[in-house]
Structures are given as C-alpha cells and as structure tokens.
Structure 1
Amino acid sequence: MQHAAGMTGTGIPALKNCSKQHIVESFMIKRSLSLFLARRFYGSHGENDKKKASGFAIRIATIGVALGLAVMIVSICVVQGFQNEIRSKLTGFTSHIMVLNDSSFLAPESYPIVADPALLQSLRGISGVERVQCISEKLGILKTNDSYQAISLKGIACADYDTTFLSQHLVAGHLPQFSDVNPSNQLVISQMQADALGLKVGSRIFAYFFEKSIKMRRFVVAGIYQTNMPQLDEHFALTDRATVNQLNNWASDQCSVVEIHLHGMEQLDAAQLAVGKLVNGTSDRNGSTYTHLSIREHPQTSVAISWLDVLNMNVIIILVLMIGVAGFTMISGLLILILERTQTIGILKALGMTNARIRQTFINYAAFIVLRGMFWGNIVGLGLVLLQQQFGWVELDPAYYYVKQAPVLIDPLWILLLNVSTLCLTVLALILPSYVISRIQPAKVIQFD
C-alpha cells in the first residue's frame, strides 16, 4: 500500500509534467512544420515556375509592396524635412513663445517691457527652454531716390542673441557685432528688400520713422540675408538694439519682446502653459503688464504653422493608400498561390493537417514575399532620400515652396514604425482571404489530376 501510495504521490505530477511537455513539443512541431512548408513553397519557384501564374503574382506582389513602402518612406522623409526646414526658419527669425506688453496687441507699434534679470532667469528655468533673448522693434520706411520699402526694424544685441540662423542665411556681407549700448548705424536687409531698392553691401540708405515727429537715420548696409519666406524677407531688417531703443526713447533694459526658444515644437504646449502661469497678469516696474504669445498665434507665423499641420493629413492619406495597394496586391497574390496549390492543400488535408495549420503555412509563405518586397522598398526609398540629402537633385521654386531644394529628414524611429506597420497590416489583411483554404475538399482536388 505504501508503494502504491508513493507511486500515486509522485507519479501524477510526473504525468502532468509529461503532458505539458508533450503539448509544448506538439505545438512547436506543428509550428515548425508550417514554417518549413512555407519556406519550401517560397524557395520552390525556379525557372519553370516563372511561367506559371503564381510566379507572375509573386513578382507583382513584391513590386507592389516595394513601391508602396518606398513611396511611404520618401513621403515621410520629405514632409518631415519640409516641416523641419520651415519651422526652423520661422523660429529662427521669431521664436516659439514671445513675452510682450499686453498693449502691443491693440497697436501697430510695440510697447516696451522691462527685461528684468530675475524674470529672464525664471524663463530659462522652464523645462524645454533652450535660450531666452530680448529684441526691440520699430516700424519704419527705407527710402531711396526711386523707391521705398516699409520694414519692421528688429534690434538685437549679439551678447544675448543667437545669430546662428542669421549667419546661415547670409548671402552677402557680414553680420555686425550688434550691441544694446552703442549704436552702430549698420543694417542687415533681405535680398528681397535689396532688389526692390537697388541696394548692395556698402550702400547707404535713409530710414524714416513716424511718431509725433519724423525721425530719420542713415544706415550702411552691412549684410544681406535670404530665407526665401516672403513673410520674413519682405518685412524684417536688423540693426542693433541700442539704435531701436533710442528711436523708441526706451531705457537700455527695455525691449519689445522676450523671445523664448525651445528645443523642439513637441514641447510647445507644456512650455506655453508654464510661461503663461509665470508672466500673465504680472507687471514690470513701470506698470506694464506682461502677456505671452505662441508661434501658433502670432499673425506673421500662424498661417504657415497651420499649413504645416495640414501636411500631416496629406501624409496619412498617402500612407493609407500605399498600405492599401500593398495589401491588395498581396491578397491577389495569395489567392493565386492557393488556387495553384489546391492539390498540395488536398494532400496535406488527407495527411491530417488542419485548415488552421494550412492557412498559417500560406500566410507565412506570403509574409516571406512581403519581407522581400519590404527589403527592396527600403533600398529604393532610403536610397532616393539619401541621394536627395547628399546632392539635392530635386529642386523647387522658392517663390512657392520657400526652399530651393526638396528637404529630407531621416528619422530612424519613423522608418522602423513604418516597416513594422506595413508588415503587420499586410499580413493581417491576408487572414480573411486565407479562409478559402477551408472550402477546398481533398477528394475533389486529389482526383482532379
């Protein structure tokens, strides 16, 4: 009895373990069999098979997946590059967030605020803020003997202003070391303004400013910039902040706007909320009330930013269409493959293989075709993008597109997500068509031959 009890006590767990192991091994064998057959089917298309409908279907399906993925990669890279280029121009000349006098909303001329060091330090401490800089503005007119041009004169001080963007877009002359203390009487204008007024580097130009009385300043053109964005090039000219503050009768620590630049647009909402909590409703020593404005709300940039956001919808439409094309070609190819191998399917069923395992076999078979198409799609898509990035062979009209060459931006995360999504969605689209296998009867197809 003890022996029997011992067998019962230790034998049942052993049987359970054996049963679990048997189930796992059985599952792995069936899975391996489906994968093995799929590989054999995929590798069996030799020269003789190229004449069959399945060979043609495989080539069409591969080309469909490759072209679809290539178009999606190029679309994503071009749109992201375009958005990045335009946003960098807009934020390079303005900023992501602006702190200003709330009276400036209701008047063409800007009202001053005090650039309090404590306030500037608090703004720099906000998460996502890259830099904080002060600018002064004054509306005026540049006039020659033959023509004139309305401008917004932007006063900067190189000590606290990042001039990287201006240096990158300087096409002639140099960028002076503008100061907030000493007027330089030097001016940086756009290529559009230079062409309209017939100016070049070294030219002298008179500027007129209208308030209660007319103020006149003579400037020397030190540099010419070009961003190819009319909303910037048509209006802005740059000089030192000391000159603009003199024209406005402001103290040296006063300015029109405190510009807040962020590390990226994705941080705009959170940073704008933090800036609003810090400055809205507070006043400087002169009683001027602070407020803030984002690049999405500024009259000179809001339309362009909204337009860039619309491009995201265009990309979504392209992605849906291309995945649809890839899925359609794969469904057509899968049905042809199944119809050409009905006799093989009948034999597998006669040998005891279930419909589910046969469906899995053909879906694996199709997945190999999808992967091959994706391989060539990545080669073609990334190849075209890299060629454009290196040589800029696709040129655009700056008057319409704001850039001379089609910009591209390769984001590895987006490329990875695009590949994974294409594979998953295409394979998922094959599940329903694969159920045609269930309608194949072994007796009929085996007797067919």
Structure 2
Amino acid sequence: MNYELFIAKRIIIGKKYKNSVSSPIIKIAITAIALGIIIMLIAVATGAGLQNKIRDKMAGFKGHIQIVNYDANNSDVSTTPVDKNQDFYPKFKNISGIKNIQVFANKGGILRTETDFEGIIFKGVSTDYDWSFFEEYLVEGKVPNFKQPRTRDVLLSETVMNRLKLKLNDTILATFLKTATSKLPSNKKYIISGIYNSGFAQFDKSMMIGDIREVQKLNKWTENQIGGFEVLLDNFEEIEVKGEEIYRETSSTLKSITIVELYQNIFDWIQLFDNNIWFIIGIMIVIAGINMITALLVLILERVQMIGILKALGSSNTSIRKIFLYNASYLILKGLFWGNIIGLLLIFIQYYFKVITLDPETYYVTTMPVYISFTSVILLNVGTLLLCFLMLVIPSYIITKIEPSKAIKFA
C-alpha cells in the first residue's frame, strides 16, 4: 500500500484542510493554474488559427506554388506567356502531395461606372480551376461556369462592389492597358455573376476572376499561351520541399516560386506569432509555478506537527515530501481541469459565433480565427503539470529542516 498517497488523500478530503488558514491561498494557486492554461490555450488557438487562415487565403488567391516564365517579374500582371503544353500538366508524374494544377493569366485594368472607377487585376482561369476557396467566401450569386464556349461572367469582391455601387448581375465596363501589339486600350463589358468577401483586403480590393480566354484575347495570345500554372498542395508544411521538387521537374525556361517567397514580409510577420505564443506560455507557467510554490510552503508550515509525528514514527524525509508533492499535484490537476473546461469553451464559442472581430486591413481576416488540435491540448497540459511539479521539488526540501522534537514541542 502506498501510504504517502493514502495520507495525501486524507489531507485533501479532510474538513480541517478545507477550513484551514491555507484554504484561500490554495484557491488562489488553483485559480492561477486555471487562468494560465486558459490563456495558453487561447494563445495557441488564435496564433495557429491566424497562421492557417492567412496561409489558406493566400493559397486561394495565388496557389501554393506558381510556375511562370523564367523572364517574368514578380508583378501581378502576366506579360510573358508560357506554353500550356508541359510534361507536368495536368499532373506531375514523379511528385506526390499535389492537390491540383491550374492555369491562369492576369491582366491589369480599370473598372468604370458613370461616377467612379477602380483599378483591378483581371485573373483569368479555366475549367481546371479549384473553386472551393471562393465558394467558401461567396456572399451572393455563383461562381462563373467556363465550360461554355464563351462567358463574360466574372466574380468580384464585396469591397469593389460597394465602392462602385454595383449589385449582382450588373454589367460593368472594364478598360485594359495597351499591349505590345496594340497601342490603344481595350474596353470590355462583363456580367457580375458572383460576389465574394474573403476578408483579405489586399486582394479583395483589386481581384476580379473571369475566363482565361478573355485575357488571352486581350493579350493577343493563342489558346495554348497562358500566364502560368498554380500548384495547390495537400500539406502547406511541405511547401519548401515541394517547391524544390517542382523546380527540378520543370524546364530551364520556367521557374517555380512559392507564396512564401512571393510574400516574404507577410510570412515573416505571421512567423512572429510562434515567438509570442512561446513567450506567453513561459510567463504563464512561471506565474502558476510561483503560486504553487507559495501554496506548498504554506501547506508544509501549517502541518509542522504532522511532519514531526511522522518523522518520530520513522518516516523518511523522502516519504513525507512525497505526501506534499502528491497534494500539490492534486491542486495542479484541479486547476488544469477547470482551465481546460473554460478555455476550450471560450475557443468553441469564438469558432462557432465569431464573437471577436478584427480589422482586415491589419490582420487580413474579419473575425479572429481559432484552431486547436488534440495534440496541442495534451502537450500544454502535460508540459504545465511536469514543469510545475519540478518547480515544487526544491521547495519541498524544507521538510528536511524540520526536527521531530521541536515540531512536536511547537505544537
């Protein structure tokens, strides 16, 4: 029988324990543990949520990896065409983890109404395009259908629609920049078939999605000439590896570039979230540990008589330390239990009801996204329990300083 655990249980369930001087200090320590795990869960959930959501939105607009002409610059306008007939299209034969390969071509232009105008990038796509991203953020209408011989349907953001005072199914006049073969700008009319709102202001305010055949016609390209290819991956974490593999599989006239390379400043910014999360976790564990040390010392000083009696009966310092460490572990587990309940509840409320909103101009999202995995929850709880327990080991050595004769006499 583990008599140390038995005595620890008796202390925990005893009425004297609940009504003792140490009771409010113990409650404060439990509350500190609970608040610590709540803040850590929220920090991890919001940090991971923002990172994942921003990555997904950028991939929705640009793909994970772009394959373009080697001479092309990194601008949003396609100036140098790429031959659509490539060995890797429509599928890489030697690279796994590829979700989709889709063609695209961009053209800079201006949308005009009688009173306003707005600069846009007309992104032309084809029947191989993955519409799942825009379908998720579709506010009204439907995505264009490019299986028809020709369509002038386009997808516009709610931001542009509001600026130009447009509504669904309106016809909009677009003026496009001159090309190498034409000195005059081109005027075209398009029908707004769908409205989206991704919350990514940088792209929402300028991106119009339409038929790639329209861009080819504007640029005087043939049907086999495109701006490039967008590659969607199954796993974003493999983007660097897949980018190198794709580069080796393409010809010397083409280059592959990841969205991490295209938008280095944005990815550097979201990478800072990890540093902030680790800082918050460290601070919370230190605060919780200090509170638990205080509670443990109060528990020990409050039971000096019991310690003296146990030593007089032959108990070793190690055994008595175990009693108080068991007791402290119970308090830590109690704090973790309530912290997890409250923390996960707050995360679920934000996930389903979108209570906290953000400025899309700054954070690229309209509401605070949250993401928490079972693994993260387990690691946070196990890490907090172990670190707090280790922080209690050294203070527990105060028991070795208590002499039985003086402790019993003091009582």
* Class of the TM-score when normalised by the shorter of the 2 chains: over 0.9
Q: Deviations over 1:183-213 (max 9, x none)?
A: 3122221112122222222222222222242
1:391 and 2:353 aligned: yes
- Measure how far apart 1:127 and its partner are: 2.6
**Pair 1:38 & 2:31 matched:** no
3-state SS of 2:261 partner: coil
1:243 aligns with 2:214: yes
Kept in 1, the 8 Å contact 2:157–2:207? The answer is yes
Q: In structure 1, what is the Cα distance between the partners aligned to 2:316 and 2:354? A: 55
Once the two structures are TM-superposed, the CA of residue 418 in structure 1 deviates from its matched residue by: 0.8
Q: Tell me the residue number matched to 1:54.
A: 22
1:182 counterpart = 2:149? yes
Q: CA deviation at 1:109?
A: 4.1
**Where do 1:150-165 residues align within 5 Å?**
150-157=119-126, 159-165=127-133
Q: How does 1:152-301 map to 2 (within 5 A)?
A: 152-157=121-126, 159-179=127-147, 182-209=149-176, 210-211=178-179, 212-213=182-183, 214-279=185-250, 282-283=251-252, 289-298=253-262, 301=263
Of 357, 368, 379, 2:319 maps to 357
133, 138, 141: which is aligned to 2:102? 133
Query: Does the aligned pair in 1 maintain the 2:125–2:211 contact within 8 Å?
Result: yes
1:88 equivalenced with 2:88 (yes/no): no
Give secondary structure in 1 for the equivalent of 2:260.
coil
* Aligned 8 A contact 1:124 1:130 in 2: no
Amino acid of the residue matched to residue 65 of structure 1?
I
* TM-score, normalising length: structure 2: 0.93
Q: Which amino acid aligns with 1:431?
A: V
Name which of structure 1's ranges 319-328 and 182-191 shifts more when overlaid on structure 2: 182-191
Q: How many residue pairs are counted as aligned between the two chains?
A: 406
Please report how far the alpha carbon of residue 154 of structure 1 lies from its aligned counterpart in structure 2 after TM superposition. 0.4
Bigger drift between 197-206 and 270-279 goes to: 197-206
Structure 1: how far apart are the matches of 2:172 and 2:57?
27
**Higher mean displacement: 118-127 or 254-263:** 118-127
Higher helix share: 1
Q: Given that residues 289 and 391 in structure 2 are in contact (C-alpha distance below 8 angstroms), is that contact kept between their aligned partners in structure 1?
A: yes
> Aligned to 2:103, what secondary structure does the other structure show?
strand
**Distance in 2 between residues matched to 1:437 and 1:49, nearest whole Å:** 19
Distance 2:60 2:119 in 1: 22
CA distance in 1, matches of 2:391, 2:243: 43
Match runs of 1:409-448 below 5 Å? 409-448=371-410
- The one-letter code matched in structure 1 to 2:259 is I
Q: Is the 8 A contact 1:124 1:132 kept in 2?
A: no
Secondary structure of the residue aligned to 2:292 is helix
Corresponding residue of 1:15 = none
Give SS of 1:131's match.
Answer: strand
Q: 1:33 to 1:50 in 2, by over 3 A?
A: closer
Unaligned 5+ runs, structure 2: none
Deviation of 1:60 (Å): 1.1
Once the two structures are TM-superposed, the CA of residue 411 in structure 1 deviates from its matched residue by: 0.7
Whether the 8 Å contact between 1:396 and 1:404 is mirrored in structure 2 is: yes
> What code does the residue aligned with 1:406 have?
M
Q: Which residue of 2 aligns with 1:111?
A: 80
Offset at residue 177 of structure 1 (A): 0.3
- 2:32 corresponds to: 64
Q: Provide the secondary structure at the position in 2 that maps to 1:329.
A: helix
Give the whole-Å Cα distance in 2 for the aligned partners of 1:237 and 1:393. 30
Identity of aligned residues (%): 34
Inter-partner Cα distance in structure 2 for 1:275 and 1:109:
20
Is the deviation greater in 394-403 or in 327-336?
394-403
Paired AA for residue 190 in structure 2: F
Match of 1:286 in 2: none
- What's the CA shift for 1:117? 4.8
Query: 1: CA distance between counterparts of 2:120 and 2:363?
Result: 23
Cα deviations across residues 39-72 of structure 1 (Å, max 9, x unaligned)?
A: 222222x2x4444222122211111111111111
CA distance in 2, matches of 1:160, 1:424: 51
User: Is the CA contact 1:100–1:292 (under 8 Å) kept in the aligned structure 2?
Assistant: yes
Q: Shift of residue 335 of structure 1?
A: 0.6
Q: CA shift at 1:313, angstroms?
A: 1.1
What's the counterpart of residue 19 of structure 1?
none
Per the alignment, in what secondary structure is the counterpart of residue 60 of structure 1?
Answer: helix
C-alpha contact 2:201 2:360 (8 A) present in aligned 1? no
Q: Secondary structure at the match of 2:393?
A: coil
Deviation at 1:137, TM superposition (A): 1.1
Question: 3-state SS of the aligned residue for 1:184?
Answer: coil
1:53 alignment partner, SS class:
coil
The 1:411–1:330 alpha-carbon spacing in structure 2 relative to 1, beyond 3 Å, is same
Matched residue SS, 1:445: helix
Are the equivalent residues in 2 in contact too, given 1:188–1:224 (CA < 8 A)?
yes
1:136-151 matches, within 5 Å, as 136-151=105-120
Moved more, 32-41 or 58-67: 32-41
Shift of 1:307: 1.8
- CA drift of 1:296 comes to 0.8
What TM-score comes out, normalization by structure 1 length?
0.86
Q: Which amino acid aligns with 1:38?
A: A
Is 1:50–1:56's contact at 8 Å kept on the other side of the alignment? no
Deviations 1:229-276 (A, max 9, x none): 121112211110111111122222322121111122211122112112
Maintained 8 Å contact 2:91/2:101:
no
Between the aligned partners of 2:310 and 2:391, the Cα distance in structure 1 is: 24
What SS class does the counterpart of residue 105 from structure 1 fall into?
coil
Letter in 2 for 1:163: W
For residues 345 and 115 of structure 1, the distance between their equivalents in structure 2, rounded to whole angstroms, comes to 82
- Whether 1:381 and 2:343 are equivalent positions in the alignment is yes
